[in-house]
Amino acid sequence: MTHKRIAIFGSTGSIGTQALDVIAANPDLFSASILTAQSNDELLIKQALQFKPLVVVIGDEKKYQGVKDALAATNTKVLAGEKALEEAAAMDDYDMMLAAIVGYAGLKPTMQAVQKGKAIGLANKETLVVAGDIVMETALKNKVPVIPVDSEHSAIFQCLVGEGRNKIEKVILTASGGPFLGKKPNFLVNVKRDHALQHPNWSMGAKITIDSATLMNKGLEMIEAKWLFNLEPEQIQVMIHPQSIIHSMVQFEDGSIKAQMGLPDMKLPIQYAMAFPQRIANNFPRYDFKKPNTLTFEEPDIKTFRNLALAMDALNRGGNMPCVLNAANEIAVYAFLRNRIGFLDMTEVVEQTMQKIPFIQKPTLEEYFDSDGEARSFAASLIHM
């Protein structure tokens, strides 16, 4: 396997830090050539001193001087601001981008990398939720591999290796159900931030943990799956699987079902994407079939967890609706994490925004950006920030 230079966009987040663990364990196979963070300057500096990247980007321009001073004795170039992310993505100094910036902010740098013909390890599902048609079309045109890092999409991707042109009947995305599985609205109305941040199986960043608790995460994943695997909405099914051992499944036209299994550990899909098409050895914990364990499956409760129903609606309507859904959800989650709104209010904000923003059937990239901005403004107006 040839040495790969990895650009980690979002290196201080949950995915970014675990990706650096994989690089540290395999220095002969990988190096970190670009690292970016939005505001966690202290961790970014620490990472830069350890991994010696060619470039670091700090999104918050107020922290630029501090990062520059801390890295003055190194050969690392320091950039700052939103535009610098795109500038770094357009550089030639890397082989693969790990797109791990949370939310809509990851779209523009990822588009830059795709246009430059760079391989993408995609951990940012919002990029495809917002503008999946344009991103995948550009990737196809530039012959760019887009390898999913989300555990569910990685599972589907792994199930499809070797299947060539065999027709997919449907994909089954599994969901743990989050910390409130089986709960009803009279319980959820009192849920507070700290309670919602306690995921039973996965260790993730705050935004994705809240999305898992509301099942919005699974809705975003359905939209992402449509674009990644060129599926129709009716070919994408969600099942609740509380043990999180089967990460997703593919059913083929002959009725056969392939599943990808393993312990819930994000380092595995990260390493798989970075090393693809090879698998490399590691010392991650293994699933033990000797331990008594039952794997169970049930339908999601979309009457209680209405975010999943709203996402399904956006998936079916298409156009700019997934973009609007995502923008409103980012604002709602931000407000919930700051104790501005309640757990169930997040759904209300998303639903009202989807009703308000005009529908566009075939948006341009500019229209996606406009829809995102309008949806954020309207969602914020519903909240006393």
pLDDT of residue 286: 94
For the chain, give the longest Cα–Cα distance: 61
User: Per-residue pLDDT averaged across 17-41, rounded?
Assistant: 97
- The answer on pLDDT for 167 being more than 90 is yes
pLDDT of residue 6: 98
Question: Residue type at 343?
Answer: F
Q: pLDDT band at 4, cuts 50/70/90?
A: very high
In percent, the amount of the chain with pLDDT more than 90 equals 90
Q: Which parts of 240-286 fold into alpha helices (H)?
A: 267-275
For 119-133, the pLDDT digits (tens) are 999 998 889 999 999
Is 21 strand, coil or helix? helix
Q: How many CB atoms lie within 10 A of CB 214?
A: 27
- Rounded Cα distance between 160 and 331, Å, is 35
- Rounded Cα distance between 142 and 150, Å, is 23
pTM attached to this predicted model: 0.94
- The answer on pLDDT for 195 being more than 90 is no
- CB 296, CB 243: distance < 8 Å: yes
pLDDT of residue 206: 86
Name which of 366, 356, 365 is nearest 325 in CA terms. 356
CATH of 4-148, one of 2.60.40.1250, 3.90.1150.10, 3.30.1600.10, 3.40.50.720: 3.40.50.720
- The answer on pLDDT for 385 being more than 70 is no
Q: Tokens 């550009």 label which residue?
A: 138
Phi, psi at 148, each rounded to 5°:
-70, 145
- Rounded Cα distance between 160 and 36, Å, is 32
- Rounded Cα distance between 302 and 181, Å, is 12
- The answer on pLDDT for 203 being more than 90 is no
pLDDT of residue 76: 98
User: Per-residue pLDDT averaged across 189-196, rounded?
Assistant: 90
Q: pLDDT band at 198, cuts 50/70/90?
A: confident
Q: Is the dihedral of CA 198, 202, 207, 213 positive or negative?
A: negative
Q: Lowest mean pLDDT: which of 50-59, 192-201, 334-343?
A: 192-201
Residue 273, exposed/middle/buried by CB under 10 A (0-12, 13-18, 19+)?
Answer: buried
Long-range contacts of 192-196 (CB under 8 A, 24+ apart): 192/339, 192/343, 193/336, 193/337, 193/339, 196/336, 196/343
- The answer on pLDDT for 360 being more than 80 is yes
- CB 1, CB 7: distance < 8 Å: no
Q: What is the dihedral of CA 241, 245, 249, 255, to 10 degrees?
A: -90
Tokens read off for 237: 């099914």
Is 370 strand, coil or helix? helix
- ∠383-384-385 over CA atoms, to 5°? 95
Average pLDDT of the chain to the nearest whole number: 95
- Rounded Cα distance between 306 and 348, Å, is 9
User: In the β-sheet with 236-240, what is the strand arrangement from edge to edge?
Assistant: 236-240, 168-175, 246-252, 257-261
Q: pLDDT band at 202, cuts 50/70/90?
A: low
User: Per-residue pLDDT averaged across 180-185, rounded?
Assistant: 94
- The answer on pLDDT for 297 being more than 90 is yes
Name which of 295, 312, 305, 297 is nearest 174 in CA terms. 297
- Rounded Cα distance between 272 and 279, Å, is 6
For 307-322, the pLDDT digits (tens) are 999 999 999 999 999 9
- The answer on pLDDT for 205 being more than 60 is yes
Q: pLDDT band at 30, cuts 50/70/90?
A: very high
Ranges of CATH 3.40.50.720 domains, the chain: 4-148
pLDDT of residue 157: 98
